[in-house]
């Protein structure tokens, strides 16, 4: 309430002071000097009434402030009969206050989404039946029923196995299966059938309540932004008073002292610096980064240690199909087609990625004749006369999986993947492996952040250690902290403060405490507002994490320009103050000179509006269209790349059949190589132009050449073997398998390289 009144008062003073100054100018122009003087005196008095309370309050708190110079200058202007100078000073003060208030304002609604999401009631099971009670009335030992899609209201212990979405607490998008007897925390969402829990805490001491308290405490611990003007005031205010007093004492003329004060009015501090900061905020907004105030921008500019969440920040935050494993005697693509056809009607979190993978492979989907969602297990239905089930491995294979299912489980564990089995007409047909993929632009973001001045980057995630370590290696962070709770992330921030100002980057509710506690909290909100975006100082509204490095460069440049404008303006003011003290500048001429200095300082500050030399890569519409076309071809070749590995897997030394390898070679020569040559001719020059360096794409060109070299070697080998069932010996099969696995590895690495260096320049739609 006080802040709102203060903002309205600043605006009122700005408008009234402008009207008084302009009205006096009109009166003077129309030969009414008395009216002009009265209006300018009123403007000066308004400035005194406006600035004096804040100056007195700062003095009582023993906080240095440049406002004392403004008070003395306004009073002195009235004393020596220079009301015009006083009216101008009032306008400058009001303008600076309004700009500063807007630039330094920050949202304080970080608890709104947390509290709105918190359950208000709980369903308690009693001998008389089910009763709905206020969540605060739930006691330890109560039996509560949590329906599908509901938030668990209080920490408890499961009475039966259940599936939960724990992303609110861990930030991980993968559904978690909990067995009977396991503990479940409040704040997670029941993603399966209705489940019964036995409460182990009260609502006040539960996990979710503790999360809300963490946000409150962390927000309270955030250090306030100290204005640049206040820092300069420590030296500037005493110097000004000493010089003005010395001039009066030496000459015996109080006019000289007033002239010094008028010239010393710190408008470069009050106006030029906020203009540079506001310009930086505007530049960042055009890059898709909302910085909540000048304080946040300055802190972002000096950020040296960064803690980054994984899910949704360094990874997509949404599962994607990474591999297909066909069961013996089944076709993987056909199994995927049937599964995706059935999943079209499912709202399960894994249904969307399966449908997308099928469409990306060009498979034709049909609507199922019947469909049934089995909570916590999967989907069953009929597609084109086939009985199809898609869901959890234990639901498909039962408690005793066969050799193929165990192999799938082992492969999923090694890759850190989720597995979904597809059953067709009562037989397991294929396994769909899903992963949360690393963002293609994440490694470039890390490199750009280091170039922008970040000395240390730590990955802190609630995910498993092996998955976290893999992501950390790919993107190039300095340290990986896995299986982190919100409290662990706060502890990590505290440790990183020894390396400098801290920046926290995240996108989940679980990140809100750390976002509020860090010197700068950065949230990703491209997929919608969350509690993290409310708690953060900086919000990325584009689905491109590299924009954070762009914003940091903008912040550093804006801060540098702000300091330059202050240094030049105050330096010239010091020269003018000396001249005024020596009697070379009367108050009227000094006021005019001060306005020239102010305009110069403002002109320097306005450079922050212009783009810097190190702005983000700019792409023309033609370049974007070219990237989109090549990316479509690139994605369409993914099944062919996976086919290389499957053909190698199917080779046997006993009676080898090389027909699949020959068919694969034909596809590589007619589909893959033309695409790679087109990439070399069109994609490589485009990326080099966008990044401003041909060295940046040298590795891309080298991998194009290596792919073609490996395909040529494959052609030579198959031509040398000849046709016929007995043409290939065991040593030929070994060499062929070696070539295929080598080509597969090169293709996978090359595709990841293209995603990172080229296609990440324009984010994919929908992901």
**pLDDT at residue 224 above 50?**
no
Report pLDDT digits (tens) over 337-371.
999 888 887 767 788 888 888 887 788 888 888 88
613 or 140, greater pLDDT: 140
**pLDDT at residue 396 above 50?**
yes
**Cβ proximity of 567 and 597 under 8 Å:** no
Q: What is the mean pLDDT of residues 373-388?
A: 86
Q: Binning pLDDT at 50, 70 and 90, where does residue 387 land? A: very high
pLDDT at position 401:
78
Q: Which string of b and e fits 542-577 if b means at least 16 CB within 10 Å?
A: ebbbbbbbbbbbbbbbbbbbbebbbebbbebbbebb
Residues in a beta bridge with 129? 126
pLDDT at position 171:
53
> 491 vs 247, 497, 513, 514, 517, CA distance in Å?
55, 10, 11, 9, 10
Rg, the chain, Cα only: 34
Q: What is the mean pLDDT of residues 84-111?
A: 61
pLDDT at position 44:
84
Closest by CA position to 459, among listed 498, 488, 416:
488
pLDDT at position 458:
92
Closest by CA position to 605, among listed 279, 350, 362:
279
3-state SS, residue 180: coil
pLDDT at position 282:
75
* Predicted model pTM: 0.65
Closest by CA position to 761, among listed 696, 680, 707, 706:
696
CA pair distance 460, 469, nearest whole angstrom: 10
Dihedral sign from CA coordinates of 154, 155, 157, 161: positive
pLDDT at position 686:
84
> Please, which residues have CB within 8 angstroms of residue 236's CB and are 6 or more apart in sequence?
66, 69, 264, 266, 570
Q: What is the mean pLDDT of the chain?
A: 78
**Cβ proximity of 449 and 301 under 8 Å:** no
569 or 105, greater pLDDT: 569
**pLDDT at residue 301 above 80?**
yes
3-state SS, residue 324: strand
Would you call 165 a catalytic residue per the annotation? no
pLDDT at position 605:
79
Report pLDDT digits (tens) over 133-177.
888 888 888 889 888 888 888 888 887 788 887 766 655 566 777
**pLDDT at residue 439 above 60?**
yes
pLDDT at position 523:
80
Tokens of 179: 């067995």
Dihedral sign from CA coordinates of 255, 257, 258, 262: positive
Report pLDDT digits (tens) over 108-142.
444 445 556 677 888 888 888 888 888 888 888 88
Pick left, alpha or beta for residue 323 (phi over 0 → left; psi -120 to 50 → alpha; otherwise beta). beta
**pLDDT at residue 93 above 60?**
yes
Report pLDDT digits (tens) over 532-584.
556 677 877 666 777 888 888 888 888 888 888 878 887 888 888 888 888 88
pLDDT at position 65:
67
The catalytically annotated residue of 155, 309, 343, 623 is 309
Closest by CA position to 196, among listed 181, 175, 177:
181
For the chain, give the percent of residues with pLDDT over 90: 2
pLDDT at position 281:
77
pLDDT at position 457:
92
CA pair distance 456, 159, nearest whole angstrom: 45
């Amino acid at each position: 309430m006080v802040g709102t009144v203060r903002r309205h008062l600043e605006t009122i003073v700005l408008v009234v002071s402008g009207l008084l100054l302009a009205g006096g100018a009109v009166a003077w122009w129309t030969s009414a000097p008395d009216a002009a003087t009265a209006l300018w005196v009123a403007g000066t008095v308004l400035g005194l009434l406006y600035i004096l309370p804040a100056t007195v309050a700062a003095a009582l708190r023993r906080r240095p402030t440049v406002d004392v110079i403004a008070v003395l200058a306004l009073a002195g202007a009235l004393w020596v009969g220079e009301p015009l100078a006083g009216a101008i000073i009032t306008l400058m003060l009001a303008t600076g206050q309004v700009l500063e208030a807007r630039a330094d304002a920050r949202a304080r609604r970080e608890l709104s989404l947390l509290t709105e999401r918190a359950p208000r009631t709980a369903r308690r099971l009693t001998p008389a039946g089910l009763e709905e009670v206020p969540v605060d009335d739930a006691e330890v030992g109560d039996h509560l029923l949590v329906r599908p899609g509901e938030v668990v209201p209080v920490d408890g212990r499961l009475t039966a196995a259940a599936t939960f979405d724990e992303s609110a607490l861990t930030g991980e998008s993968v559904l978690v299966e909990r067995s009977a007897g396991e503990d479940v925390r409040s704040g997670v969402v029941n993603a399966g059938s209705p489940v019964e829990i036995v409460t182990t805490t009260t609502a006040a001491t539960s996990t979710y309540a503790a999360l809300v308290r963490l946000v409150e405490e962390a927000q309270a611990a955030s250090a306030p932004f100290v204005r640049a003007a206040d820092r300069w005031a420590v030296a500037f205010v005493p110097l000004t008073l000493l010089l003005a007093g010395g001039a009066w004492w030496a000459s015996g003329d109080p006019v000289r002292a007033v002239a010094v004060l008028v010239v010393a009015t710190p408008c470069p501090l009050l106006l030029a610096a906020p203009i540079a900061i506001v310009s930086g905020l505007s530049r960042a907004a055009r890059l898709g980064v909302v910085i909540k105030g000048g304080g946040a921008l300055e802190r972002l500019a000096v950020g040296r240690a960064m803690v980054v969440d994984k899910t949704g920040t360094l990874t997509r935050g949404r599962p994607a199909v990474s591999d297909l494993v066909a069961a013996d005697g089944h076709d993987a693509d056909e199994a995927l087609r049937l599964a995706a056809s059935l999943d079209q009607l499912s709202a399960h979190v894994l249904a969307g990625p399966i449908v997308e993978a099928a469409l990306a492979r060009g498979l034709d989907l049909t609507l199922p004749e019947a469909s049934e969602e089995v909570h916590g297990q999967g989907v069953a239905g009929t597609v084109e006369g086939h009985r199809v089930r898609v869901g959890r491995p234990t639901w498909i294979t039962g408690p005793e999986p066969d050799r193929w299912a165990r192999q799938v489980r082992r492969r999923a564990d090694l890759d850190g993947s989720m597995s979904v089995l597809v059953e067709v007409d009562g037989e397991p047909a294929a396994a769909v492996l899903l992963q949360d993929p690393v963002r293609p632009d994440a490694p470039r973001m890390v490199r750009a952040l280091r170039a922008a001045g970040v000395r240390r980057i730590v990955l802190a995630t609630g995910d498993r250690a092996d998955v976290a370590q893999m992501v950390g290696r790919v993107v190039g962070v300095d340290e990986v902290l896995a299986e982190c709770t919100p409290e662990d992330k706060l502890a990590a921030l505290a440790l990183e403060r020894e390396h400098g100002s801290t920046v926290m980057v995240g996108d989940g509710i679980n990140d809100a405490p750390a976002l509020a506690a860090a010197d700068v909290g950065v949230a990703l909100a491209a997929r919608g507002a969350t509690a993290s975006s409310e708690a953060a100082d900086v919000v990325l509204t584009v689905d491109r994490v590299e924009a954070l490095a762009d914003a940091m460069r903008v912040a550093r440049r804006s801060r540098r320009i702000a300091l330059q404008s202050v240094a030049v303006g105050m330096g010239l003011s010091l020269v003018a103050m000396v001249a005024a003290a020596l009697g070379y500048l009367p108050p009227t001429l000094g006021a005019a000179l001060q306005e020239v200095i102010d305009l110069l300082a403002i002109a320097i500050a306005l450079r922050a509006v212009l783009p810097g030399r190190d702005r983000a890569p700019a792409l023309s519409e033609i370049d974007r269209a070219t990237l989109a076309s090549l990316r479509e071809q690139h994605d369409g070749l993914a099944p062919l790349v996976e086919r290389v590995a499957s053909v190698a897997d199917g080779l046997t030394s006993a009676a080898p059949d090389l027909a699949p390898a020959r068919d694969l070679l034909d596809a590589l020569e007619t589909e893959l190589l033309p695409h790679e040559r087109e990439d070399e001719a069109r994609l490589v020059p485009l990326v080099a132009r966008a990044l401003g360096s041909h060295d940046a794409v040298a590795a891309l060109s080298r991998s194009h050449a290596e792919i073609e070299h490996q395909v040529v070697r494959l052609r030579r080998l198959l031509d040398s073997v000849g046709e016929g069932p007995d043409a290939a010996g065991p040593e030929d099969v070994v060499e062929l398998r070696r070539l295929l696995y080598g080509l597969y590895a090169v293709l996978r690495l090359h595709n990841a390289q293209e995603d990172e260096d080229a296609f990440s320049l324009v984010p994919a739609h929908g992901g």
